[in-house]
Amino acid sequence: MDVSVSFRKDLEGFPMDVSWESGKEIVVLFGPSGAGKSMTFRAIAGLTSPEEGRISVGGKTFYDSKSGIDLPPQQREVGFLFQHYALFPHMNARENILYGHSDPKRAEEDLAEMIGLFQLHGLEYRYPKELSGGQKQRVALARALMRKPKILLLDEPLSAIDLSVRRAIRNELKSLQKRLSIPMIIVTHDLGEALTMADRLIVYNRGSVIQAGPPMEIMDHPVDETVSELVGSFPLHAGRTFSF
Amino acid sequence: MENILPALKISLLVASTATFMIAVGGLFFAYVLARHDFRGKHLLDALITIPMVLPPTVVGYYLVILFGREGLIGAPLFELTGWSFIFTWQGAAIAAFIVALPLMVGVSRSAIEAVDEDLIQISYSLGKSKRETFFRVILPLARGGIMAGIVLAFARALGEFGATLMVAGNIPGKTSTLSLSIYTAFQTGDDHLAKKLALILTAISVAVIYLASKWTRS
């Protein structure tokens, strides 16, 4: 598997203990707020250290408590999209995108590729406060991809986007994953988003994975009442028409 | 004028030297206190802050104990070089540094703490070291507060009186700053000179406060 995540972390209120794997696909971590989804991202990115466990991505061990490996975030080759994008407010779009790039000889070429891929022509010299939610997201994605990450982590990628363009962005993200062919992990607590995006759905509750599998399978065979409650509240469940 | 210029010169020399040390040292302490948890953090914080609440003469007294010819640092220094901080402009600069440092640390620490944690973490995730993140993200975003801290510290250093008097004395043309000269002029009945000196200090302080508030707002 390309991604293997298994760790324990003591959080205030409950201990977190999760274990899951994924290939080069879109995996959605779904569950109520405070279930440990964002903490999982932070552990993969090296922004927090678990108590024990093992995290590997693309054959590279990021963290292994047994052999004492705990790579710093700088060495993890993770593309991380924060919920509100975390663009540097004092840098324009171009400077933001180039921020993590380490090879000055290739910088202009790679920048042009990203500007093309994310249709950012004409926005290069705009500052974050002059960009719309969708434009900010594209700049943040371009910045994350400039480092050629082995995995892309998207934390609530659509929460700051207008409802009217969410569908288009969902499709953009799906085709982006196909094009890049790397694991794309998405955190959301929006069921509609989870079901339309996910190749695999991983249901979190109170620091544990309570069910994992293709979205349809989980909806058809929820393992317990909690999962049933979490996925059963979706209004289009009966019709299975996920055309939003 | 002959009484004003040397005092102004000494004041600016003392305040600029102290401010340079404050800018470098204060930024270091502000960063460490804002971004790190370690044993003794509260003690370090208290040690830096205490000169703000102690009477300046008490701070001066401790500085003499430390830097005097018999002092913990002063004695070996005197033995090595035959030179002492006491009754020199450098001594006045040390006194101004200690008294004005808490202003710089307090203001710039708040500015550093106000930088969005997500921006710092995304910088690490984008491959940048703590040092690079400091210079490219934290410093530019906290610049307003840091500049305000430096300017306020300069104003405080310029007006320092009590600790300076204890450490450096009040030697005209050598250690007598504007604040000390005002006191001398007033004591000797030269009200005209005292008034002039007071107006100069007031004008500089008003300009400095104006700049500080402008930078903080930006």
Give me the DSSP letters along B79-125. Answer: HHHS--STTSHHHHHHHHHHHHHHHHHHHHHHHHHTS-HHHHHHHHH
A60-64 β-sheet, strand order: A69-70, A60-64, A52-57, A3-10, A15-22, A208-213, A200-205, A26-30, A184-188, A151-155, A78-81
Candidates B122, B124, B137: best to mutate against A (most CBs of A within 10 A) is B122
Q: Is A84 helix (H, G, I), strand (E, B) or coil?
A: coil
Q: Is A85 helix (H, G, I), strand (E, B) or coil?
A: coil
CA dihedral (B135, B130, A38, A23) in degrees, to 10, reads: 110
Chain A residues contacting B via beta carbons under 8 Å: 45-47, 72-76, 78, 80, 82, 84, 86, 88-90, 99-100, 102, 143-144, 147
Nearest-by-CA chain A residue for B118: A86
Other Cβ atoms within 10 Å of A69 Cβ, number:
14
What is the C-alpha to C-alpha distance for residues B112 and B90, in angstroms, rounded to an integer?
Answer: 30
Q: How far is CA B26 from CA A53, A177, B39, B56, B103, in A?
A: 40, 47, 20, 19, 9
Torsion A198-A6-A59-A45 (CA) sign: positive
What is the C-alpha to C-alpha distance for residues A82 and A160, in angstroms, rounded to an integer?
Answer: 11
pLDDT for the residue B217: 74
Look at residue A161 and tell me whether its pLDDT is greater than 90.
Answer: no
* Closest Cβ opposite residue A90 in set B125, B128, B140: B140
CA distance B119 to chain A (A): 5
What is the C-alpha to C-alpha distance for residues B46 and B29, in angstroms, rounded to an integer?
Answer: 12
pLDDT for the residue A224: 87
Phi and psi, residue A28, nearest 5° = -110, 125
* Closest Cβ opposite residue B126 in set A46, A84, A147: A147
Look at residue A91 and tell me whether its pLDDT is greater than 50.
Answer: yes
**Selecting from 3.30.930.10, 3.40.1160.10, 1.10.3720.10, 1.10.10.1200, what CATH number does the domain B4-217 have?**
1.10.3720.10
Q: At what angle do helices B56-67 and B89-113 cross, to 10 degrees?
A: 120
Strand A151-155 versus strand A184-188 pairing type: parallel
Query: What are B61-72's pLDDT values in tens digits?
Result: 999 999 998 889
pLDDT for the residue A169: 82
Helix (H) or strand (E) holding A9: strand A3-10
- Take residue A169 and report the two structure tokens written for it: 């962005």
Look at residue B1 and tell me whether its pLDDT is greater than 90.
Answer: no
pLDDT for the residue B60: 94
* For range B189-205, the mean pLDDT: 92
- What band does A243 get if pLDDT is binned at 50, 70 and 90? very low
Helix (H) or strand (E) holding A174: helix A163-180
Q: Residue B153: which of B216, B76, B205 has the closest Cα?
A: B205
Percent over 90 (pLDDT), chain A: 59
* Closest Cβ opposite residue B129 in set A74, A90, A100: A74
Nearest-by-CA chain B residue for A45: B125
What is the C-alpha to C-alpha distance for residues B130 and B36, in angstroms, rounded to an integer?
Answer: 12
**pTM for this predicted structure:** 0.86
pLDDT for the residue B2: 61
Strand A151-155 versus strand A200-205 pairing type: unpaired
Nearest-by-CA chain A residue for B140: A90
What is the C-alpha to C-alpha distance for residues A192 and A206, in angstroms, rounded to an integer?
Answer: 21
What is the C-alpha to C-alpha distance for residues A136 and A129, in angstroms, rounded to an integer?
Answer: 9
Distance of CA A198 to the CA centre of its chain: 11
Q: Is the ipTM of this complex over 0.85?
A: yes
Higher pLDDT, A239 or A232: A232
- What band does B115 get if pLDDT is binned at 50, 70 and 90? very high
Which residue ranges form the domains of chain A, and what is each CATH number? 1-36+46-75+163-238 (3.40.50.300), 78-148 (no CATH)
pLDDT for the residue A235: 46
- Environment class of A57 (CB within 10 Å of its CB; exposed 0-12, middle 13-18, buried 19+): buried
Strands (E), chain B: none
Put simply, the answer to whether A45 touches B125 (Cβ < 8 Å) is yes
Look at residue A242 and tell me whether its pLDDT is greater than 50.
Answer: no
C-beta of residue A133 within 8 angstroms of C-beta of residue A164: no
Query: What are A18-54's pLDDT values in tens digits?
Result: 999 999 999 999 998 888 999 999 999 999 999 999 9
The amino acid occupying position A236 is: L
Torsion A186-A189-A190-A192 (CA) sign: positive
* For range B193-215, the mean pLDDT: 89
Look at residue B82 and tell me whether its pLDDT is greater than 90.
Answer: no
